[in-house]
Amino acid sequence: MTQLVPLQVVIPLLAAPICLLLRDRRYAYVFSLAVVWATFAVSVALLGQVLGSGPLSYAMGGWAPPFGIEYRVDTLNAFVLLIVAGIAAVVLPAGVGPGSRAAQDGREYIFYTAFLLCLAGLLGVTITGDAFNVFVFLEISSLASYVLVSLGDDRRAFVAAFSYLIVGTIGGTFILIGIGLAYQMTGTLNMEDLAARLPLVTDQRTTRVAFAFLTIGIAIKLAVFPLHQWLPNAYSQAPAVVSAFLSATGTKVAYYLLVRFVFTIFGAGFVFGALHLDAILMPLSIAAMFLGSIAAIYQTDLKRLLAYSSIAQVGYMTLGLSMASIDGLTGGIVHLFNHALMKGGLFLVVACVAERLHSTRLVDLRGLGRRMPITTAAFVIGGLGLIGVPGTAGFVSKWYLVLGALERDSILLAFLILLSSLLAVVYLWRIVELAYFQAPDADAAPIREASSSLIPACVLIAATLYFGIFTEWSAGVARSAAIWLMGGPV
């Protein structure tokens, strides 16, 4: 059943231009919905196969690797594929929202087309076993995401999309340079070949420069502090649905790439033993955890608040990576999953709010607890997840990260992880107090709950509760991926 492997990317990729031709709002909606659900079904089947019978390999166009392009699915990227496709399947039914530029111009099909392209790109980056192919798909997803961001409610979205484009292109270029240098050293682009040949040339300066370019390029895409500047603007100006999708998938795929290059291509021994990546990445991660959260506390707009919180959450993921231990890496990978649920859900809640209030400023949230009770409750639960309250998915991530810290014999690091999560209490409770303790403006019209985005938001938020208790699947897969990455038995 390796035929499923290319379908994972081909379905959304081919569907995108068809969607452009459909034009009609409803047709495009139904068609793209069918496509993302089919894509999701494929990713479920793939993960099932990988867990059951080990990695899958597919040679594109019948050209055997390493000469042709190989698509390779193992536990790690099957998990990421499932997350990306799953989030798309939940987010897309929300539609673009009435406020966005695409809806104002009556050209929703642009949104659906860009969405499918972006999805195809992200899935391609994840599934491919070819380093150059990574770059190609990365550019597809990036270009599509610039379009998606520019569909925001007002003209500021253009500026945000443009600066995102500049930074994103720099990141993409760095990655390309890194891949080029690695190719120069090894003569191959196939990841497995790279993994076999790079260890022989790790003492060469070119190899180290290749790694540096790759890491920094990916770090830009991942919004690692201090390379995060593009993220708050992009997420806060994009339509909330787009923010939900990008925050739950874009940075996650970048994180996957970093893990892939560090652990399976360059090798943990080289990266941590010779280059001491942890000495740089760990302080930066801790800085991101604290500064991102502190910046979130001072925001006056809900979307910006969540965007800064994302920077802090990326800090947790990279912290897990920098620990280079099974528990730490499990924490990082499971947080990739959990954060996708939480932040996707929270941004969808914002989409609900924006749909009814036509504003995401915090001051307009006064009395929201009475005006939109379900939406507000969903936000609070999602926020509790960000804090890491037990019973929510966020707790599971913190659990493994703290265990990873203890494994390094660092009670201080464990304490810092927990301390930083308290900052989330502060920014969440600002909103709770606004929503529940303050009366809405006297002239505020009565409003109903949002129509299309409420159910997707509730699905994701409910999932954060579910995966806070039933961790066997999420943390189990993350753990087996981490064990495999650390060189243990699968």
Q: Which residues bind other proteins (CB under 8 A)?
A: 384, 387-391, 396, 398-399, 402-403, 406-407, 411, 414-415, 418-419, 421-422, 425, 429, 433, 436-437, 469-472, 475, 479
- Which residues fall within 8 angstroms of residue 225, CB to CB, at 6 or more apart? 284, 285, 287, 288, 291, 292, 311, 314, 315
* Minimum CB distance to other proteins, residue 409 (Å): 10
CB of 326 to other proteins, least distance (A): 11
143 vs 380, which CB is nearer to other proteins? 380
CB of 177 to other proteins, least distance (A): 42
Nearer to other proteins, 123 or 384 (CB): 384
Residue 305 identity (one-letter amino acid): L
Kindly report the three-state secondary structure assignment for every residue of 421-435: HHHHHHHHHHHHHHH
Q: Which is nearer to other proteins, 44 or 425 (CB)?
A: 425
Q: How far is the CB of 315 from other proteins (least distance, A)?
A: 17
Complex with other proteins: residue 272 or 467, whichever CB lies closer: 467
Nearest approach in angstroms of CB 369 to other proteins is: 10
Residue 371 beta carbon to other proteins: minimum distance, rounded to whole angstroms:
15
Cβ-based nearer residue to other proteins, 283 or 476: 476
Q: Determine the straight-line distance between the first and last CA of the chain, rounded to whole angstroms.
A: 21
**Phi, psi of 141, deg, nearest 5:** -70, -35
Tokens 């938001």 found at:
457
In the complex with other proteins, which residue's Cβ is closer, 58 or 399? 399
Where b means 16+ CB within 10 Å and e means fewer, 8-21 reads bbebbbebbeebbe
Nearest approach in angstroms of CB 272 to other proteins is 22
CB of 403 to other proteins, least distance (A): 6
- From CA 201, how far away is CA 189, in angstroms rounded? 15
Give whichever of 76 and 475 is closer to other proteins, judged by the CB atom.
475
Of 116 and 405, nearer to other proteins (C-beta) is 405
Q: Locate 295 and state its tokens.
A: 């910046």
Name the minimum Å distance from CB 415 to other proteins: 6
Distance CA(309)–CA(26), nearest Å, equals 35
> Cβ of residue 78: shortest distance to other proteins, in angstroms?
21
Q: How far is the CB of 349 from other proteins (least distance, A)?
A: 18
**Backbone Cα Rg of the chain:** 21
Contact 277, 262 (CB under 8 A): yes
CA distances from 187 to 194, 225, 396 (A): 9, 33, 42
Q: Which is nearer to other proteins, 67 or 298 (CB)?
A: 298
CB 194 within 8 A of CB 286: no
What are the DSSP E strand ranges found in 43-91?
A: 56-59, 70-73
State the Cα–Cα distance between residues 127 and 150, nearest whole angstrom.
27
Q: Which DSSP category does 128 fall into?
A: B
Q: Which is nearer to other proteins, 54 or 476 (CB)?
A: 476
Q: Which is nearer to other proteins, 158 or 429 (CB)?
A: 429
Count of C-beta atoms within a 10 Å radius of residue 412: 9
Please name which of 60, 65, 150 lies closest in space to residue 100, comparing C-alpha atoms.
150
Rounded to whole angstroms, how far apart are CA atoms 139 and 281? 25
Cα–Cα separations (whole angstroms), residue 115 to 46, 48, 211, 338, 462: 22, 26, 31, 22, 24
Residue with tokens 């528990």: 327
